[in-house]
Amino acid sequence: MSKRFSKIGQSFSQLGQAFMLPIAILPVAGLLLGLGGALTNDAAVNAYPWLNQVWLQTVLKVMNFAGNAVFSNLALIFSIGLAVGLAKGDKGTAGLAGGVAYLVYTATISGLLQLFDPKNNIDTGVLGAIVIGSVVAYLHNHYRKTQLPQFLGFFGGSRFIPIISSLTAIVIGAIFFIIWPPIQSWLTSAGYAIAKMGSFGSFLYGFLLRLTGAVGLHHTIYPMFWYTALGGTAEVAGKTVVGAQNIFFAQLADPNHHGLFTYGTRFFAGRFATMMFGLPGAALAMYLCLPKRNRKKDGGLYLSGGLTSFLTGITEPLEYTFLFVAPWLYVIHAFLDGCSFWVADIMNIRIGNSFSGGLIDYLLFGVLQGRDKTNWPNVLLMGIIWFFLYFLIFTFCIKKFHVNIPGMKDDTDAGADAIMSNGPKTGNKLYDESMDIIAALGGRDNIQTVSACATRLRVSLKDNSKVNEGVFKKLGAPGVLKVAGGVQAILGGKADIYSQEINDILINPDTAPKDNKVIEPPKTNSKSKHIMQTLQLASPVNGRLIALSEVNDEVFSQKMMGEGFAIEPIDGIIYSPVSGVVVSIFKTKHALGIKTSSGLEVMIHMGLDTVELQGKPFNILVKEGDEVTPDTQIAKINLEQVKEAGKDPIILTLITNTNDYVANVKMLVPSGEEVKSHSDVFEVRTK
């Protein structure tokens, strides 16, 4: 059960990380929309004539239009962002597919409504975006290398994804067309019931409004109260007015109105304590919960989100930082917001608003209207309590349940420091670091098997939630991948050395080496100098060129092993991509390393996960120390044997010292084109 919850938690964490890209634009959009919307409202301009300056109104309206452009298309933006964030490679295609699929999805619903139910309206908000973005990411990760028959070859590969995503979006749109009207009807019925419940109804209104706001469906609730008889009916200046907001603005414009504003303001007044005080308190809590080293880098997200909520009442930028990684925490937030509406009703706070519940509306429609009409000081008393309530609850929940909000992961965490400082200090670097790795993997009892391929340490574990990734990063690993049943740590040429040492320690745990020396990789016979130059890398095999980002392996597609390119081979004859000296040949024969005269280290990696084949499909035709050129055949592969084993035979050419030696790279041939061996396909400029 714990593993299941761990996987669910990791899924929500990945979802939260995927949403960080679109969320990052929300604070600025919120400020533009909030300021522009509140200060161009007719009621605000009539009440405060100094706002009625042509140049000022023009600027404010442009701000409003700009901010509204983001929030009006929030679902589309999130659909694209989610597809990009969850894609394992070729993220541009995934983003395009996400956008196209969402447009097809909404068009499908709109078309079905016109055909079968023209009087109805369906808007699934961000919920629909989550479904579309997730499905597109799944299709992209599983089918972006689909090969179609030759006469349809143009539509294969990454071009296939927008096509299959659009077709799938039609099906999803049809499903939502069927299931959504009952859901929408239930929300409407709930609204009528809430309107009859007094102060408890105010609580339910605030709770349900915030809860549905998580997926952008709050617009199915509040218009019923703002603009219909659900929000009340009143006689104002001799006219009958219905709807909470309509009544409020009518009373605001009536110079003869005295006393508190309409009771319908209970559908607005509860917002102010949450938006001006509660959420900023939560923002401060999240900021202080971040590791101190990360506050400068990641704290701006929370501080700007808290400021946006305080000034304008735009809450999404802050809420989305914890919604997807801890939905249960959002439910607590919704409950507290419902309580805010209940308390505001009891305290007779009667402040309306034009846009939201931030400082701008509080000043315009609360403070400046007078205490006798709004009871605005009560918001300050309530707000202080709400600030500390949110601050304490969020601090407790984040620390107690280790909520992985953005910026929580600390690259230099104390746990890794403790493991490495408490590890053995025998003076033998290999043994000491191997013991640190064992501790980072959760100890001997958590380890099942240890192996290595050309670049990564592969470990099967009983529980991979016990892994401390920080130790691997301190040992130079550019990445650690948690996979089903274990982890893969990218340790380069040291992976095999660590694998051997760790297995020796596991077999003989009480035997510490006396004079073990770290095994060094084979040295070249010729001295190499670090020379700044531009090099062309040739295709090592006949086949189709593939951008590294499109390789179906996160280690390579995310360039953890460095820059490079890949070839889908059509034969098994492998040549050297560069001139240099062979410096390493892995014992499983699936990879070898070449060093150029300028110091560039190039690895030829044959197939994905082919280390498991123990060298059977590979025939290496060179030995360490041999000088090679692009005309030198270095290996031969039995492609059929690789495919029969269920492995991808793709040939990767990687520059393993990219960080130290490479200034920039350029593909000389577009991804997807057929290339011949010996032909230049990739350019590298060294530092």
Q: Which residues are catalytic?
A: 453, 605
Kindly provide the residue ranges of all beta strands, DSSP E only, lying in 549-620, ordered along the sequence: 564-569, 573-575, 580-585, 591-595, 601-608, 618-620
Secondary structure in 3-state letters for 471-510: HHHHCCCCCEEEECCEEEEECHHHHHHHHHHHHHHHHCCC
Question: What are the b/e assignments for 355-384, b being 16+ CB within 10 Å?
Answer: bbbbbbbbebbbbebeeebbbbebbeebbe
**Among all chains, which residue has been given the structure tokens 């909000």?**
405
What residue type is assigned to position 357 of the chain? G
* Residues 478, 562: Cα–Cα separation, whole Å: 10
Radius of gyration of the chain (CA): 31
Query: How crowded is residue 395: how many other Cβ atoms within 10 Å of its Cβ?
Result: 17
Pick from 515, 510, 655, 680: nearest CA to 595: 655
Closest residue by Cα to residue 118 from 108, 110, 107, 129? 110
Residue 184 CA to residue 189 CA, distance in Å, equals 9
Q: What is Dmax (Cα atoms) for the chain? A: 100
Numbers of helices and strands, H then E, in the chain: 27, 20
Q: Please classify residue 9 by burial: count the beta carbons closer than 10 Å to its beta carbon, then call 0-12 exposed, 13-18 middle and 19+ buried.
A: middle
> What is the per-residue DSSP string for 244-259?
HHHHHHHHHH-TT--S
Q: Where are the beta strands (DSSP E) in 93-227?
A: none
**CA-based torsion, 237, 242, 247, 250: positive or negative:** negative
Residue 647 phi, psi (nearest 5): -105, 155
CA distance 393 to 411: 26
216-254: buried (b, 16+ CB within 10 Å) or exposed (e) per residue? Answer: bbbebbbebbbebebbbebebeeeebebbbbbbbbbbee
**Coil vs helix vs strand at 627:** strand
Q: How far apart are CA 451 and CA 500, in angstroms?
A: 8
Burial class (CB in 10 A: 0-12, 13-18, 19+), 421: exposed
CB-CB contact of 431 with 312 (8 Å) = no
Parallel, antiparallel or unpaired: strands 573-575 and 591-595: unpaired
483 has which bridge partners? 486
CB 482 within 8 A of CB 458: no
> Tokens standing for 500?
């051997």
CB 539 within 8 A of CB 604: no
